[in-house]
Amino acid sequence: MSPLRSGLLGDLDPTSDRAVFRQIADQLREAIDRGRFKEGEKLPSEADLVEHYGVSRMTVRNSFSVLQGEGLVHAEHGKGVFVRPRPPVRRLASDRFARRHREQGKSAFIVEADAAGSHPQVDSLEVKEEKASQDISTRLGSVRRVLARRRRYLLDGKPVEFATSYLPLDIARGTQIAESNPGPGGIYARLEELGHHLDHFEEEIRARMPSPTEVKTLRLASGVPVIHLIRTAYDTEGRAVEVCDTVMAADAYVLSYQLPAT
């Protein structure tokens, strides 16, 4: 039993029309914002708060669930409720697919992670031909079947990104793009070797709450949205040669774009 450090949390205002569980959530949120509870630190247990505020346990749990929804805290069964630490963020610069970054052998993800001192990892590789979804078909210009390359990226064991590349079969079939390992410089390097000179990319960005599947594959804590990025690569003839659908844990990413003012 850890008796509540005094002064950390105030009292309830019975005259307020703000719901009790909201008042409790407010006080905890403020305490966190002010740094009275630090990152990774354990909050008072449900029992502590029940005693402190003189409310029932469900009320306390209700306030915790508010904070969980905001992504501020996370609960660990048998241990307690903790202030959610912010993971190291990965910056994605808009020039990350520029030709000059494609010269060396290793993939951008590996190089970048190594430089940042974290341990990168790529898994659940799947490369297969399949039927194109409506959306993908539209983006690639009415193709029926595509080559799909699926992979998951991890940093220090934590999954941060799940991506699928789709390519028209007439481009990818029988090439190294259809292999597990696309070779140095990645599939963009292979595309250019095959004569599909890249002209520009278009990226579409959305943010939303993850589906249950995404929660699983990215091991997302509750209250963490995902960034959904769809990139289409066009060659110099204006043809869409690849669509890459990426779902990222939003708390692990900052996207950065450089735009001309012209």
Partner DNA sequence: CTTGCCCACTCGTCTATACGAGTATGCACG
Partner DNA sequence: CGTGCATACTCGTATAGACGAGTGGGCAAG
For residue 246, the SS3 value is: strand
CB of 2 to a second copy, least distance (A): 28
Angle between helix axes 20-33 and 46-53 (nearest 10 degrees) is 120
Q: Applying CB under 8 A, which residues contact a second copy?
A: 26, 29, 58, 65, 69-71, 94-95, 97-99, 198-212, 222-227, 233, 250-251, 253-262
- Written as one letter, the residue type at 128 is K
21 binds DNA (CB under 7 A): yes
What region does 7 belong to: left with phi over 0, alpha with psi -120 to 50, or beta?
left
Q: Which of the choices DNA, a second copy, none does residue 202 contact, using the CB cut-off of 5 to 8 A by kind?
A: a second copy
Q: Does the footprint of DNA cover residue 19 (CB under 7 A)? A: yes
Binding partner of residue 78 among DNA, a second copy, none, CB under 5 to 8 Å per kind? DNA
Single out the residue of 81, 154, 191, 247 in contact with DNA (rule: CB under 7 A): 81
Smallest gap, in angstroms, from Cβ of residue 89 to a second copy?
A: 8
Q: Which is nearer to DNA, 62 or 118 (CB)?
A: 62
User: Rounded to whole angstroms, how far apart are CA atoms 5 and 136?
Assistant: 56
Please report, as residue ranges, which positions from 51 to 80 form the binding site for DNA (by CB under 7 A). Answer: 54-59, 61-62, 64, 75-80
Select 9 or 229, whichever has its Cβ closest to a second copy: 229
Distance CA 109, CA 185 (A): 11
- Residue 123 near residue 154 (C-beta atoms within 8 A): yes
Q: Shortest Cβ distance from residue 17 to DNA (Å)?
A: 8
Q: How many CB atoms lie within 10 A of CB 199?
A: 13
80 binds, among DNA, a second copy, none (CB under 5 to 8 A by kind): DNA
Bridge partner list, 235: 198
Residue 198, binding choice from a second copy, DNA, none, Cβ under 5 to 8 Å by partner class: a second copy
Contact, 140 vs 172, CB < 8 A? no
**Which option in a second copy, DNA, none does residue 20 bind, with CB closer than 5 to 8 A by kind?**
DNA
Phi-psi region of 95 (alpha: psi -120 to 50; beta: other; left: phi over 0): alpha
Bin 245: left if φ > 0, else alpha if -120 < ψ < 50, else beta.
beta
Binding site for DNA (CB under 7 A): 1-2, 19-22, 43, 45-48, 54-59, 61-62, 64, 75-81
